[in-house]
A and B are shown apart, each in its own frame.
Chain A
Amino acid sequence: MAVTVVQNATCTFCGCVCDDIELHAEGDRIVKAKNACSLGEAWFLHHTAERLYPDALIDGQPASLDAAVERAAEILDRADLPLIYGLSNITSEAQREAVFLAELAGGIVDSHTSL
């Protein structure tokens, strides 16, 4: 299978955020992570882009993304005080979206930092 090489890829496993990693990808997995430390390498090699799960789950049952988004919006709409929590393993673009959503829902947004 053809190997694609990504230069200067970024590892987000720890706060060093090393941005000098050379990734070799084959199909839906990463086979090599040059320059990464052992933690970073394990992290890159552990992930795949396989479809292991359905798009979404509602009450534990497979569901479509559209239905899950609709249901999520309904839950937030009905709540008096929803909480949006986490934000550790996501991009800052997604973090900004989480803040917008908390504002619209009139809820609370909180991260790992409060623990």
Chain B
Amino acid sequence: MGGKPACTLGEVKNRADLIIYWGGNPAECHPRHFTKYTLTPKGKFTPNGRKDRTMVLVDIRETPSARAADIFLQIRPGRDFEVLTALRAIIKDQPVDPERVAQTGLTLDQLRDLAGRMKRARFGVMFFGMGLTMTRGKYMNSSAILTLAAELNAFTKFIAMPMRGHGNVTGADTVLRWTTGYPFGVCFNRGYPRYNPGEFSTIDLLVRGDVDAVLVVGADPAATMPQPAIEHLKRVPTIVLDPKVSTTMRIARVGILTAATGISAGGTVYRMDEVPIPLRPALRSPYPTDEEVLRRIRQTLAARTDE
């Protein structure tokens, strides 16, 4: 694995001349990505905006984002890892079997063309979405695209960035990393942080029934999780903090109403490039913020454990 070659969206705007979206549909899911950061803005080294850039879309179906692309590469579902691996080989001038490439839905010529563009780019960026990270291969696909980006740095400047979704999911990764050293699924039951996806991931914990109380904040798992996980949420005492009486709050032992992030609660949210952005809430909520409530619960718990 090659680590995570990263940059800010400001650098993309000012420098990137090859923009690749992989397994994502920004036109519908991140509507201002093209106009604010990647395609149309005129940057310091991209003075002509859209004309200075080439956009490639790799996906299993032709989404509305394809209309914005110069090149659309339609691959067969579940073949991302193979395409990425073939690209890694082509970039290093290794032999690749055209018949096996054909199984991905693309031709060797198409891949050679893309590999050539990648190497010739002044500054390339691959944005990857859930079409890559949540399909066959999962984190191995993420690893493959990050490795490809890292290896391309032998030829030019290249980065890869996940297209993170709603709210502050990027912040969750970032805060957990700088407080515990790990991005998610961190266990403190031995007094120090331990990380083990599968063992300490929420769905596994709930389905196995490993946890005996749950505090939910900034999520509504009862609306989205598999039924066995929801059954366990109902079985154990659950505490929910939410700006509205959510589906999960309805099955919870304790529900606490809080101010809505960015609407009536201030603070900081991380953009997908991990740049922290301050919020400017326009309304005043009658409810306290999640931050205040969590702090009060911690102080009350600390007072109890001191006794």
Contacts and interface: CB of A to CB of B under 8 A. Distances in A.
Interface of A: 4, 6-19, 23, 25, 28-30, 37-40, 44, 47-60, 65, 68-115
Given A91-B265, A91-B269, A82 B212 contact: yes
Contact of B261 (A30, A55, A89): A89
B215 A94 contact: no
B197 A56 contact: no
B267 A93 contact: yes
Scoring A10, A65, A105, A111 by chain B CB atoms within 10 A of each residue's CB, the highest score goes to A111
Contacts of B94: none
The 8 A-B pairs of least Cβ separation, nearest first, read: A91-B267, A86-B219, A79-B213, A15-B272, A97-B294, A37-B31, A90-B218, A111-B172
Nearest to A67: B254
A114 B184 contact: yes
A47 B184 contact: no
Given A15-B271, A25-B283, 4 more contacts: A14-B29, A73-B301, A92-B268, A92-B270
A92 B267 contact: yes
A77 B288 contact: no
B95 interface: no
B253 A97 contact: no
Contact of B202 (A17, A48, A54, A115): A115
A64 B301 CA distance: 18
A26 B222 CA distance: 33
Contacts of B168: 12, 87-92, 95
A108 B211 contact: yes
26 contacts: A6-B282, A9-B279, A9-B280, A30-B282, A40-B31, A44-B282, A47-B263, A47-B264, A51-B287, A57-B255, A75-B237, A76-B301, A88-B172, A88-B218, A90-B217, A92-B269, A96-B179, A101-B294, A104-B305, A107-B188, A108-B205, A110-B201, A111-B173, A111-B176, A114-B185, A114-B200
A56 B172 contact: no
A114 to B, nearest CB: 4
A94 B291 contact: yes
Contact of B302 (A28, A83, A104): A104
Contact of A106 (B191, B216, B286, B297): B191
Contacts of B290: 90-91, 94, 97
B295 interface: yes
Contact of A47 (B165, B188, B283, B300): B283
Contacts of B277: 10, 17, 19
A15 B189 contact: no
A82 to B, nearest CB: 4
A89 B218 contact: yes
B49 interface: no
B191 A83 contact: no
A106 B188 contact: yes
